[in-house]
Structure 1
Amino acid sequence: MASQSIFNSESDEDHWVIQINQMVSESHNSILKKIPVCIFHVPKSLSYAKPEAFSPQLIAIGPYTHFRPELYPMERFKIFAAKAVLDHFNKHDLKQVVQEFHDTATFIRASYHKYLDLKDETLLYTMAIDALFLLNFYHNYLDKKLSGSFMMGLEDPVQLSGVKLTRNATIRDILMVENQIPNYSLLKILLFESSEPPHLVQEYLGSMLLSFCHQHSPLKLTHTITCSEAVSKHHHVLDLMYHLVVSHAVKSETPVPDQGEGTSALQKSSDSEAIAISFKKFKGVLTWTVESLKKLKDVNIPLVKPVKRHLDPVLKVSSQLDALSSHPKLSEEEEEEETHMIVNIPCVRELDSVGVFFQPVEGGNMAIEFDEKRGIFYLPVVNLDVNSEVIMRNLVAYEALTQPDFLIFTRYTELMRGIVDSLEDVKLLRKAGIIESSSTLSVEETEELFNGMSKSITPTKTHKLDETINKVKKYYDYKRKTNILKASTDYVYRSWKLFTLLATFVLLAMTAIETFCAAYDCHRYFAPE
Structure 2
Amino acid sequence: MAEITNDTLVNIDELAASMRGELDSLPVLSSKCCIYTVPKRLHHLNEKAYTPQLVSIGPLHHGKPELRPMEEHKKRYLQDFLQRTKLSLVDYLKVIEKNEKKLRDCYAETIEFSSDEFIKMILVDAAFIIEVLLRYHFKPMRKEKENDRVYNKPWAIQDIRKDMWLLENQLPFFILEDLFDPARITLPSGKNQMLSITKLAYEFSKDLWDLEEMEEKSQKNKSPKVQHLVDFLWICHQPPQSKSKKKLKTLGIPSATELHQAGVKFKLGSSKNLFDIKFKNGILEIPRLEIVGATELLFRNLLAFEQCHCSKNYINDYVIIINHLVNTAKDVELLVKDGIVENWLWDDEGMSALFHGLVKETFVIVDHFYFSGLVEELNAYCRKPWHKWQATLKQHYFNNPWSIISFIAAVILLVLTTIQAVCSILSV
Q: Does 1:74 find its partner at 2:70?
A: yes
Taking the aligned partners of 1:22 and 1:451, their CA distance within structure 2 comes to 41
Q: Return the offset for 1:369.
A: 2.6
Say whether residues 1:254 and 2:245 are aligned partners. Answer: yes
Question: Which position in structure 1 is the counterpart of 2:289?
Answer: 382
Give secondary structure in 2 for the equivalent of 1:383. strand
Following the alignment from structure 2 to structure 1, what is the Cα–Cα distance between the partners of residues 152 and 213?
40
Give the deviation of 1:88 after TM superposition.
3.2
Matched, 1:413 2:319: yes
Structure 1 residues 350-369: Cα deviation after superposition (integer angstroms, max 9, x where no partner): 22122211112226244223
Partners of 2:147 and 2:336 lie apart in 1 by: 35
Q: Secondary structure at the match of 1:89?
A: coil
CA contact (8 A) 2:73 2:149 kept: no
1:282-361 mapped onto 2 (5 Å cutoff): 336=249, 339=251, 344-361=252-269
Q: Which residue of 2 aligns with 1:211?
A: 203
Counterpart-to-counterpart distance in 2, 1:143 and 1:227:
24
Alignment of 1:12-31 (within 5 A): none
* Equivalent residue for 1:166, pick from 141, 145, 156: 156
Of Structure 1 and Structure 2, which has the larger fraction of its residues in helix?
1
Deviation at 1:162, TM superposition (A): 7.1
Offset of 1:252 from its aligned partner?
Answer: 5.5
Q: Measured at CA, do residues 173 and 162 of structure 1 come closer, stay the same or move farther in structure 2, by a change above 3 Å?
A: closer
Q: Counterpart of 1:129?
A: 124
> 1:436: Cα distance to partner?
3.1
SS of 2:195's equivalent in the other structure is: helix
Give unmatched runs, 5+ long, in structure 2.
1-20, 187-191, 394-428
Q: Report how far residue 430 of structure 1 moved.
A: 1.1
| CA–CA distance in structure 1, aligned partners of residues 123 and 75 of structure 2 | 10
* Cα distance, 1:464–1:446 mapped onto 2, change above 3 Å: closer
1:245-292 deviation line (CA, Å, top 9, x unaligned) = 123x5255424xxxxxxxxxxxxxxxxxxxxxxxxxxxxxxxxxxxxx
Match in the other structure for 2:301 = 394
Provide the C-alpha distance between the structure 2 equivalents of 1:155 and 1:352, rounded to a whole number of angstroms.
55
1:105-138 C-alpha deviation (Å, 9 max, x unpaired):
1010111111111112111111111111111211
Tell me, yes or no, if the aligned pair for 1:386 and 1:440 is still in contact at 8 Å: yes
Structure 1 pair 419–195 and aligned structure 2 pair: CA distance change class (3 A): closer
Q: CA 1:411–1:156 in 2, change beyond 3 Å: closer, same or farther?
A: farther
Matches of 2:83 and 2:236, distance apart in 1: 34
Does 113-122 or 472-481 show the bigger shift?
Answer: 472-481
- Shift in alpha-carbon separation, 1:100–1:201, aligned structure 2, 3 A: farther
The one-letter code matched in structure 2 to 1:78 is: K
Structure 2 CA distance, aligned partners of 1:192 and 1:109? Answer: 26
Structure 2 equivalent of residue 4 of structure 1: none
What does 1:97-116 correspond to in 2, within 5 Å? 97-116=92-111
The question of whether the paired residues in 2 share the 8 Å contact of 1:202 and 1:228 is answered with no
What is the CA–CA distance in structure 2 between the aligned matches of 1:232 and 1:189, rounded to whole Å?
A: 21
Give the structure 2 partner of residue 369 of structure 1: 278
Q: 1:467 Cα deviation (Å)?
A: 2.4
- 172-181 vs 79-88, which moves further: 79-88
Does the C-alpha gap of structure 1 residues 87 and 464 become closer, same or farther in structure 2, counting only changes over 3 Å?
closer
Q: Any conservation in 1 of the 2:272–2:288 contact (CA below 8 Å)?
A: no
Ranges in structure 1 where 5+ consecutive residues have no aligned partner = 1-16, 256-332, 488-529
State the one-letter code of the partner of 2:161: I
- Please say if residues 84 and 185 of structure 2, whose CA atoms lie closer than 8 Å, have aligned partners that are also in contact: no
2:46 to 30, 50, 75: 50
Q: Secondary structure at the match of 1:52?
A: helix
Deviations 1:222-267 (A, max 9, x none): 56417999998211121111111123x5255424xxxxxxxxxxxx
Q: TM-score, normalised by structure 2?
A: 0.73
AA in 1 matched with 2:351: T
TM-score (norm 1): 0.60
Deviation at 1:167, TM superposition (A): 2.2
CA contact (8 A) 2:37 2:168 kept: yes
Instruction: Map 1:451-462 to 2 at 5 A.
Output: 451-460=356-365, 461-462=367-368
Q: After TM superposition, give the deviation of residue 63 of structure 1 in Å.
A: 0.7
Which residue of 1 is the match for residue 225 of structure 2?
A: 233
TM superposition shift of 1:154: 5.0
Contact 1:92 1:193 in 2 (8 A): no
Aligned to 1:434: 340
Contact 1:37 1:113 in 2 (8 A): yes
The answer to whether the 8 Å contact 2:165/2:301 transfers is yes
Using the alignment, how far apart are the partners of 1:156 and 1:204 within structure 2? 27
Residue 198 of structure 2 aligns with an amino acid whose one-letter code is: G
In the alignment, is the contact (CA less than 8 A) between 2:133 and 2:201 conserved in 1? yes
CA shift, 1:21, in A, is: 7.5
Tell me how far apart the structure 2 counterparts of residues 479 and 407 of structure 1 sit (CA, whole Å): 34
Residue of structure 2 equivalent to 1:307 = none
